[in-house]
Amino acid sequence: MGVVKSKEKQKEAKRNKLIEKKFREEKKKLDKQVKILLLGTGDSGKSTIVKQMQILYKGGFQEKEIEQYRKAIRTQIKGYIKVLIRGCNESGFALLEENQTCAEDYLRTVKKNNPEISEQNKNDIIKLWADPALKKAYEIHDQFQLPNVAKYFLDKTEEIAKQDFNPNEKDILNCRISTIGVKEIQFQVKDDNWRLVDVGGQRSERRKWMHQFEDIDILIFVIAVSEYNLSLYEEQTVNRMHESLSVFQKTTKNDFLKKKNIVLLFNKVDLFKEKIKKIPLTVCFPEYTGKQEFEACGDYIQKKFIKVAKKRKGRTIKCHYTCATDTNLMKNVIAEVMNSVTAGHIQVYF
Ligand SMILES: Nc1nc2c(ncn2[C@@H]2O[C@H](COP(=O)(O)OP(=O)(O)OP(=O)(O)O)[C@@H](O)[C@H]2O)c(=O)[nH]1
Ligand SMILES: [Mg+2]
Protein backbone atom coordinates (compact mmCIF):
# COMPACT_ATOMS: atom_id res chain seq x y z
CA MET A 1 0.00 0.00 0.00
CA GLY A 2 2.72 2.43 1.20
CA VAL A 3 4.88 1.64 -1.88
CA VAL A 4 1.97 2.37 -4.25
CA LYS A 5 1.28 5.69 -2.51
CA SER A 6 4.89 6.84 -2.69
CA LYS A 7 5.06 5.91 -6.39
CA GLU A 8 1.96 8.00 -6.98
CA LYS A 9 3.51 10.89 -5.08
CA GLN A 10 6.65 10.62 -7.21
CA LYS A 11 4.54 10.70 -10.35
CA GLU A 12 2.65 13.73 -9.15
CA ALA A 13 5.88 15.55 -8.24
CA LYS A 14 7.22 14.80 -11.72
CA ARG A 15 4.03 16.11 -13.30
CA ASN A 16 4.19 19.29 -11.22
CA LYS A 17 7.83 19.80 -12.20
CA LEU A 18 6.92 19.48 -15.86
CA ILE A 19 4.06 21.97 -15.48
CA GLU A 20 6.36 24.41 -13.70
CA LYS A 21 8.98 24.03 -16.43
CA LYS A 22 6.40 24.69 -19.13
CA PHE A 23 5.11 27.69 -17.21
CA ARG A 24 8.66 29.11 -16.89
CA GLU A 25 9.31 28.57 -20.60
CA GLU A 26 6.03 30.28 -21.54
CA LYS A 27 6.84 33.17 -19.23
CA LYS A 28 10.31 33.52 -20.73
CA LYS A 29 8.78 33.58 -24.19
CA LEU A 30 6.25 36.15 -23.07
CA ASP A 31 8.95 38.25 -21.42
CA LYS A 32 10.83 38.40 -24.69
CA GLN A 33 7.81 39.69 -26.50
CA VAL A 34 7.48 43.32 -27.46
CA LYS A 35 4.05 44.42 -26.35
CA ILE A 36 2.55 47.18 -28.44
CA LEU A 37 -0.59 48.89 -27.24
CA LEU A 38 -2.85 50.56 -29.79
CA LEU A 39 -4.84 53.47 -28.42
CA GLY A 40 -6.98 56.16 -30.00
CA THR A 41 -10.57 57.33 -30.01
CA GLY A 42 -13.36 55.33 -31.67
CA ASP A 43 -13.23 54.93 -35.44
CA SER A 44 -9.61 56.11 -35.69
CA GLY A 45 -8.45 52.89 -37.38
CA LYS A 46 -6.85 50.74 -34.66
CA SER A 47 -8.56 47.48 -35.57
CA THR A 48 -7.83 48.07 -39.24
CA ILE A 49 -4.12 48.07 -38.35
CA VAL A 50 -4.60 44.77 -36.52
CA LYS A 51 -6.33 43.38 -39.62
CA GLN A 52 -3.28 44.38 -41.68
CA MET A 53 -1.04 42.45 -39.25
CA GLN A 54 -3.29 39.46 -39.70
CA ILE A 55 -2.96 39.73 -43.48
CA LEU A 56 0.78 40.36 -43.42
CA TYR A 57 1.90 37.98 -40.69
CA LYS A 58 -0.88 35.50 -39.94
CA GLY A 59 -2.00 34.46 -43.41
CA GLY A 60 -5.31 36.35 -43.43
CA PHE A 61 -8.67 35.63 -41.86
CA GLN A 62 -10.33 32.49 -40.48
CA GLU A 63 -13.69 31.30 -41.81
CA LYS A 64 -15.34 32.32 -38.51
CA GLU A 65 -14.11 35.89 -38.90
CA ILE A 66 -15.14 36.03 -42.57
CA GLU A 67 -18.65 34.98 -41.54
CA GLN A 68 -18.71 37.74 -38.93
CA TYR A 69 -17.76 40.35 -41.56
CA ARG A 70 -20.26 38.95 -44.09
CA LYS A 71 -23.04 39.46 -41.54
CA ALA A 72 -21.79 42.91 -40.55
CA ILE A 73 -21.56 44.13 -44.16
CA ARG A 74 -25.09 42.92 -44.94
CA THR A 75 -26.53 44.46 -41.78
CA GLN A 76 -24.69 47.71 -42.45
CA ILE A 77 -25.80 48.29 -46.06
CA LYS A 78 -29.41 47.87 -44.95
CA GLY A 79 -28.81 50.47 -42.23
CA TYR A 80 -26.98 52.90 -44.56
CA ILE A 81 -30.11 53.21 -46.73
CA LYS A 82 -32.19 54.05 -43.65
CA VAL A 83 -29.73 56.78 -42.64
CA LEU A 84 -29.78 58.19 -46.17
CA ILE A 85 -33.60 58.26 -46.40
CA ARG A 86 -33.75 60.03 -43.03
CA GLY A 87 -30.99 62.36 -44.23
CA CYS A 88 -33.11 63.23 -47.29
CA ASN A 89 -36.14 63.90 -45.08
CA GLU A 90 -34.15 66.14 -42.72
CA SER A 91 -32.48 68.04 -45.55
CA GLY A 92 -35.59 68.44 -47.71
CA PHE A 93 -34.23 66.34 -50.60
CA ALA A 94 -37.30 64.91 -52.37
CA LEU A 95 -37.02 61.35 -53.64
CA LEU A 96 -38.38 60.46 -57.08
CA GLU A 97 -42.13 60.05 -56.89
CA GLU A 98 -42.01 56.36 -57.80
CA ASN A 99 -39.60 55.72 -54.87
CA GLN A 100 -41.47 57.51 -52.13
CA THR A 101 -43.72 54.67 -50.99
CA CYS A 102 -40.80 52.26 -51.20
CA ALA A 103 -38.74 54.54 -48.91
CA GLU A 104 -41.55 54.86 -46.37
CA ASP A 105 -42.09 51.08 -46.32
CA TYR A 106 -38.34 50.52 -46.05
CA LEU A 107 -38.08 52.72 -42.95
CA ARG A 108 -41.06 51.00 -41.40
CA THR A 109 -40.29 47.36 -42.14
CA VAL A 110 -36.52 46.88 -42.28
CA LYS A 111 -35.37 45.80 -38.84
CA LYS A 112 -32.09 46.70 -37.14
CA ASN A 113 -29.31 44.11 -36.71
CA ASN A 114 -30.67 41.64 -39.22
CA PRO A 115 -28.03 40.32 -41.63
CA GLU A 116 -30.52 38.62 -43.97
CA ILE A 117 -31.00 40.36 -47.32
CA SER A 118 -34.19 39.17 -48.98
CA GLU A 119 -34.79 39.57 -52.74
CA GLN A 120 -37.17 42.43 -51.85
CA ASN A 121 -34.52 44.11 -49.63
CA LYS A 122 -31.93 43.83 -52.39
CA ASN A 123 -34.21 45.36 -55.03
CA ASP A 124 -35.23 48.19 -52.69
CA ILE A 125 -31.63 48.99 -51.75
CA ILE A 126 -30.57 49.11 -55.41
CA LYS A 127 -33.57 51.22 -56.41
CA LEU A 128 -33.25 53.69 -53.54
CA TRP A 129 -29.45 54.01 -53.80
CA ALA A 130 -29.94 54.97 -57.49
CA ASP A 131 -32.26 57.82 -56.47
CA PRO A 132 -30.53 61.24 -56.98
CA ALA A 133 -31.87 62.44 -53.61
CA LEU A 134 -29.99 59.68 -51.72
CA LYS A 135 -26.85 60.45 -53.71
CA LYS A 136 -27.23 64.09 -52.70
CA ALA A 137 -27.63 63.05 -49.05
CA TYR A 138 -24.47 60.92 -49.37
CA GLU A 139 -22.58 64.06 -50.47
CA ILE A 140 -23.19 65.47 -46.98
CA HIS A 141 -22.84 62.11 -45.18
CA ASP A 142 -20.56 63.67 -42.53
CA GLN A 143 -23.64 65.37 -41.08
CA PHE A 144 -25.40 62.07 -40.42
CA GLN A 145 -22.51 60.02 -38.92
CA LEU A 146 -22.62 57.94 -42.08
CA PRO A 147 -19.17 56.55 -42.91
CA ASN A 148 -17.43 57.23 -46.23
CA VAL A 149 -17.34 53.56 -46.90
CA ALA A 150 -21.15 53.39 -47.27
CA LYS A 151 -20.74 54.17 -50.97
CA TYR A 152 -18.17 51.40 -51.48
CA PHE A 153 -20.53 48.77 -50.05
CA LEU A 154 -23.80 50.12 -51.49
CA ASP A 155 -22.24 50.04 -54.97
CA LYS A 156 -21.67 46.31 -54.38
CA THR A 157 -25.20 45.45 -53.18
CA GLU A 158 -25.87 42.92 -55.95
CA GLU A 159 -22.74 40.94 -55.04
CA ILE A 160 -23.21 41.27 -51.26
CA ALA A 161 -26.78 39.93 -51.45
CA LYS A 162 -25.69 36.75 -53.27
CA GLN A 163 -25.92 33.53 -51.27
CA ASP A 164 -22.24 32.73 -51.82
CA PHE A 165 -20.87 36.22 -51.08
CA ASN A 166 -17.47 35.94 -49.49
CA PRO A 167 -15.97 39.26 -48.34
CA ASN A 168 -12.46 39.71 -49.72
CA GLU A 169 -9.59 41.39 -47.86
CA LYS A 170 -10.54 44.84 -49.14
CA ASP A 171 -14.13 44.37 -47.91
CA ILE A 172 -12.90 43.22 -44.51
CA LEU A 173 -10.47 46.12 -44.19
CA ASN A 174 -13.28 48.54 -44.97
CA CYS A 175 -15.90 46.97 -42.75
CA ARG A 176 -16.28 48.61 -39.38
CA ILE A 177 -17.05 46.60 -36.28
CA SER A 178 -16.49 48.76 -33.23
CA THR A 179 -14.25 46.98 -30.71
CA ILE A 180 -15.71 45.98 -27.38
CA GLY A 181 -13.18 44.90 -24.76
CA VAL A 182 -9.58 44.01 -25.51
CA LYS A 183 -8.34 42.00 -28.49
CA GLU A 184 -4.79 40.94 -29.17
CA ILE A 185 -2.73 39.13 -31.74
CA GLN A 186 0.70 37.63 -31.42
CA PHE A 187 3.06 37.06 -34.28
CA GLN A 188 6.69 36.44 -35.05
CA VAL A 189 8.85 38.30 -37.56
CA LYS A 190 12.26 36.69 -37.99
CA ASP A 191 13.41 36.14 -34.38
CA ASP A 192 11.23 38.78 -32.80
CA ASN A 193 7.97 38.09 -31.04
CA TRP A 194 5.32 40.78 -31.11
CA ARG A 195 2.11 41.15 -29.20
CA LEU A 196 -0.29 43.78 -30.45
CA VAL A 197 -3.12 44.80 -28.16
CA ASP A 198 -6.21 46.54 -29.53
CA VAL A 199 -8.86 48.20 -27.39
CA GLY A 200 -12.20 49.86 -28.03
CA GLY A 201 -11.82 53.61 -28.46
CA GLN A 202 -15.33 54.81 -27.75
CA ARG A 203 -15.89 56.61 -24.46
CA SER A 204 -17.59 53.68 -22.74
CA GLU A 205 -14.60 51.45 -23.58
CA ARG A 206 -11.81 53.72 -22.36
CA ARG A 207 -11.99 52.80 -18.70
CA LYS A 208 -10.68 49.36 -19.71
CA TRP A 209 -7.51 50.89 -21.19
CA MET A 210 -5.50 51.28 -18.00
CA HIS A 211 -5.49 47.53 -17.30
CA GLN A 212 -3.16 47.28 -20.29
CA PHE A 213 -0.72 50.05 -19.37
CA GLU A 214 1.61 48.39 -16.89
CA ASP A 215 3.71 46.09 -19.06
CA ILE A 216 3.66 47.74 -22.47
CA ASP A 217 6.81 48.50 -24.44
CA ILE A 218 5.47 50.91 -27.01
CA LEU A 219 2.36 52.96 -27.29
CA ILE A 220 0.90 53.54 -30.73
CA PHE A 221 -1.69 56.30 -30.66
CA VAL A 222 -3.92 56.49 -33.72
CA ILE A 223 -5.53 59.74 -34.83
CA ALA A 224 -8.06 59.92 -37.66
CA VAL A 225 -6.59 63.08 -39.15
CA SER A 226 -9.46 63.44 -41.63
CA GLU A 227 -12.04 63.80 -38.87
CA TYR A 228 -11.19 67.37 -37.97
CA ASN A 229 -14.65 68.53 -39.11
CA LEU A 230 -16.66 65.68 -37.58
CA SER A 231 -18.55 65.56 -34.34
CA LEU A 232 -18.23 62.70 -31.93
CA TYR A 233 -20.56 59.74 -32.32
CA GLU A 234 -21.03 59.63 -28.54
CA GLU A 235 -21.66 63.40 -28.12
CA GLN A 236 -22.70 65.46 -31.12
CA THR A 237 -21.39 68.76 -29.72
CA VAL A 238 -17.79 67.57 -29.36
CA ASN A 239 -15.35 67.76 -32.26
CA ARG A 240 -13.56 64.44 -32.93
CA MET A 241 -10.10 66.00 -33.28
CA HIS A 242 -10.50 67.88 -29.99
CA GLU A 243 -11.56 64.65 -28.31
CA SER A 244 -8.55 62.83 -29.71
CA LEU A 245 -6.15 65.53 -28.52
CA SER A 246 -7.67 65.58 -25.07
CA VAL A 247 -7.62 61.76 -24.76
CA PHE A 248 -3.99 61.76 -25.89
CA GLN A 249 -3.11 64.39 -23.31
CA LYS A 250 -4.70 62.39 -20.49
CA THR A 251 -3.02 59.20 -21.70
CA THR A 252 0.48 60.68 -21.78
CA LYS A 253 0.05 61.94 -18.22
CA ASN A 254 -0.60 58.45 -16.87
CA ASP A 255 2.12 57.31 -14.47
CA PHE A 256 2.62 53.96 -16.20
CA LEU A 257 3.05 55.61 -19.59
CA LYS A 258 5.16 58.63 -18.77
CA LYS A 259 8.42 56.93 -19.74
CA LYS A 260 7.07 55.09 -22.74
CA ASN A 261 8.00 55.91 -26.26
CA ILE A 262 5.21 56.83 -28.58
CA VAL A 263 4.41 56.29 -32.22
CA LEU A 264 1.75 58.64 -33.52
CA LEU A 265 -0.14 57.41 -36.56
CA PHE A 266 -2.01 60.16 -38.37
CA ASN A 267 -4.42 57.87 -40.10
CA LYS A 268 -7.04 58.25 -42.86
CA VAL A 269 -4.60 60.44 -44.74
CA ASP A 270 -6.30 59.48 -48.04
CA LEU A 271 -9.54 61.13 -46.87
CA PHE A 272 -7.67 64.02 -45.26
CA LYS A 273 -5.88 64.92 -48.52
CA GLU A 274 -9.23 65.21 -50.30
CA LYS A 275 -11.11 66.93 -47.51
CA ILE A 276 -8.54 69.63 -46.85
CA LYS A 277 -9.12 70.94 -50.40
CA LYS A 278 -12.75 71.68 -49.49
CA ILE A 279 -13.11 72.18 -45.73
CA PRO A 280 -10.82 74.65 -43.91
CA LEU A 281 -8.84 73.49 -40.89
CA THR A 282 -10.20 76.51 -39.04
CA VAL A 283 -13.48 74.61 -38.46
CA CYS A 284 -11.44 72.71 -35.89
CA PHE A 285 -8.64 75.13 -35.01
CA PRO A 286 -10.01 78.69 -35.53
CA GLU A 287 -6.58 80.16 -34.65
CA TYR A 288 -4.92 78.43 -37.67
CA THR A 289 -3.60 80.99 -40.17
CA GLY A 290 -1.41 78.81 -42.41
CA LYS A 291 -2.02 77.59 -45.94
CA GLN A 292 -5.06 75.48 -46.68
CA GLU A 293 -2.88 72.64 -48.00
CA PHE A 294 -2.20 69.07 -46.94
CA GLU A 295 1.44 69.60 -45.82
CA ALA A 296 0.85 72.79 -43.83
CA CYS A 297 -2.37 71.60 -42.18
CA GLY A 298 -1.00 68.12 -41.47
CA ASP A 299 2.12 69.64 -39.96
CA TYR A 300 0.04 71.90 -37.73
CA ILE A 301 -2.00 68.98 -36.39
CA GLN A 302 1.12 66.85 -35.81
CA LYS A 303 2.76 69.65 -33.84
CA LYS A 304 -0.29 69.94 -31.59
CA PHE A 305 0.05 66.27 -30.62
CA ILE A 306 3.84 66.33 -30.29
CA LYS A 307 3.65 69.36 -28.01
CA VAL A 308 1.37 67.45 -25.65
CA ALA A 309 3.66 64.42 -25.46
CA LYS A 310 6.91 66.40 -25.25
CA LYS A 311 5.90 67.78 -21.88
CA ARG A 312 7.65 64.66 -20.57
CA LYS A 313 11.30 65.01 -21.49
CA GLY A 314 13.36 62.09 -22.77
CA ARG A 315 10.66 60.21 -24.59
CA THR A 316 10.94 59.33 -28.26
CA ILE A 317 8.04 60.26 -30.49
CA LYS A 318 7.76 59.08 -34.06
CA CYS A 319 5.08 60.31 -36.44
CA HIS A 320 3.73 58.67 -39.58
CA TYR A 321 0.91 59.45 -41.94
CA THR A 322 -1.02 56.29 -42.65
CA CYS A 323 -3.85 54.88 -44.67
CA ALA A 324 -4.69 51.81 -42.62
CA THR A 325 -6.85 50.28 -45.34
CA ASP A 326 -3.93 50.19 -47.82
CA THR A 327 -1.91 46.99 -47.27
CA ASN A 328 1.10 48.08 -49.34
CA LEU A 329 1.47 51.40 -47.57
CA MET A 330 0.92 49.84 -44.15
CA LYS A 331 3.52 47.16 -44.84
CA ASN A 332 6.17 49.89 -45.10
CA VAL A 333 5.02 51.83 -42.06
CA ILE A 334 4.79 48.68 -39.93
CA ALA A 335 8.26 47.60 -41.07
CA GLU A 336 9.62 51.04 -40.22
CA VAL A 337 8.08 50.98 -36.72
CA MET A 338 9.42 47.46 -36.11
CA ASN A 339 12.87 48.38 -37.40
CA SER A 340 13.06 51.39 -35.11
CA VAL A 341 12.36 49.06 -32.21
CA THR A 342 14.74 46.29 -33.19
CA ALA A 343 17.49 48.75 -34.18
CA GLY A 344 17.11 50.42 -30.80
CA HIS A 345 15.94 53.79 -32.13
CA ILE A 346 12.89 53.25 -30.02
CA GLN A 347 14.09 51.82 -26.78
CA VAL A 348 12.16 48.97 -25.28
CA TYR A 349 12.19 48.48 -21.52
CA PHE A 350 12.36 44.76 -20.79
N1 LIG B 1 -10.49 55.68 -45.98
C2 LIG B 1 -9.94 55.17 -44.89
N3 LIG B 1 -10.69 54.45 -44.03
C4 LIG B 1 -10.09 53.94 -42.93
C5 LIG B 1 -8.71 54.11 -42.67
N6 LIG B 1 -8.42 53.49 -41.52
C7 LIG B 1 -9.56 52.93 -41.09
N8 LIG B 1 -10.56 53.20 -41.94
C9 LIG B 1 -11.97 52.79 -41.78
O10 LIG B 1 -12.47 53.42 -40.61
C11 LIG B 1 -13.41 52.58 -39.97
C12 LIG B 1 -13.04 52.41 -38.51
O13 LIG B 1 -11.86 51.68 -38.39
P14 LIG B 1 -11.55 50.75 -37.12
O15 LIG B 1 -10.19 50.18 -37.37
O16 LIG B 1 -12.65 49.82 -36.86
O17 LIG B 1 -11.51 51.84 -35.96
P18 LIG B 1 -11.15 51.60 -34.42
O19 LIG B 1 -10.17 52.65 -34.03
O20 LIG B 1 -10.73 50.20 -34.20
O21 LIG B 1 -12.57 51.90 -33.74
P22 LIG B 1 -13.06 51.37 -32.29
O23 LIG B 1 -12.94 49.89 -32.29
O24 LIG B 1 -14.47 51.85 -32.16
O25 LIG B 1 -12.19 52.02 -31.27
C26 LIG B 1 -13.42 51.26 -40.77
O27 LIG B 1 -14.53 51.27 -41.63
C28 LIG B 1 -12.14 51.30 -41.57
O29 LIG B 1 -12.23 50.63 -42.79
C30 LIG B 1 -7.94 54.89 -43.60
O31 LIG B 1 -6.74 55.12 -43.44
N32 LIG B 1 -8.61 55.39 -44.68
MG1 LIG C 1 -11.54 48.70 -33.07
Question: Which one has a higher pLDDT value, 51 or 308?
Answer: 51
Looking at the CA of 208, which ligand is closest? 1
* 268 annotated among ligand-binding-site residues: yes
**Which residue's alpha carbon is nearest to atom 2 within ligand 1?**
268
Q: In Å, how far are 5, 13, 309 from 9, measured between CA atoms? A: 6, 6, 57
- The whole-angstrom separation of Cα 41 and Cα 250 is 12
Residues with CB under 6 A from ligand 1: 40, 42-48, 147-149, 173-174, 176, 178-179, 200-202, 267-268, 270-271, 323-325
* 201 annotated among ligand-binding-site residues: yes
Q: In terms of DSSP bridges, do strands 192-199 and 261-267 run parallel, antiparallel, or are they unpaired?
A: unpaired
Beta bridge pairs of residue 223? 266
- For the segment 136-144, the average pLDDT, to the nearest whole number, is 95
Ligand 1 centroid from CA 20, angstroms: 42
- For the segment 53-70, the average pLDDT, to the nearest whole number, is 95
* 16 annotated among ligand-binding-site residues: no
Which pLDDT value is given to residue 27?
58
Residue from 325, 330, 331, 332 whose mutation best tests the ligand 1 pocket (most atoms within 8 A of CB): 325
Which of 82-91, 226-235, 248-257 shows the lowest mean pLDDT across its residues? 248-257
Over the chain, what is the mean pLDDT? 91
- The whole-angstrom separation of Cα 80 and Cα 135 is 12
- The amino acid occupying position 162 is K
Helix (H, G, I), strand (E, B) or coil at 301: helix
* 47 annotated among ligand-binding-site residues: yes
- The whole-angstrom separation of Cα 128 and Cα 213 is 47
Ligand 2 centroid from CA 178, angstroms: 5
Looking at the CA of 178, which ligand is closest? 1
Which pLDDT value is given to residue 25?
62
Ligand 2 centroid from CA 187, angstroms: 19
Q: In Å, how far are 2, 68, 330, 336 from 339, measured between CA atoms? A: 61, 33, 14, 5
- For the segment 128-139, the average pLDDT, to the nearest whole number, is 98
Ligand 1 centroid from CA 176, angstroms: 6
pTM of the model: 0.89
- The amino acid occupying position 249 is Q
Beta bridge pairs of residue 36? 196, 218
Which pLDDT value is given to residue 180?
96
Which pLDDT value is given to residue 96?
98
* 124 annotated among ligand-binding-site residues: no
Looking at the CA of 45, which ligand is closest? 1
Confidence check: pLDDT of 10 > 90? no
Which pLDDT value is given to residue 344?
59
Which among 259, 349, 266, 235 has a CA at the least distance from the CA of 312?
Answer: 259
Task: Supply the ipTM of this predicted assembly.
Answer: 0.99
Which pLDDT value is given to residue 295?
96
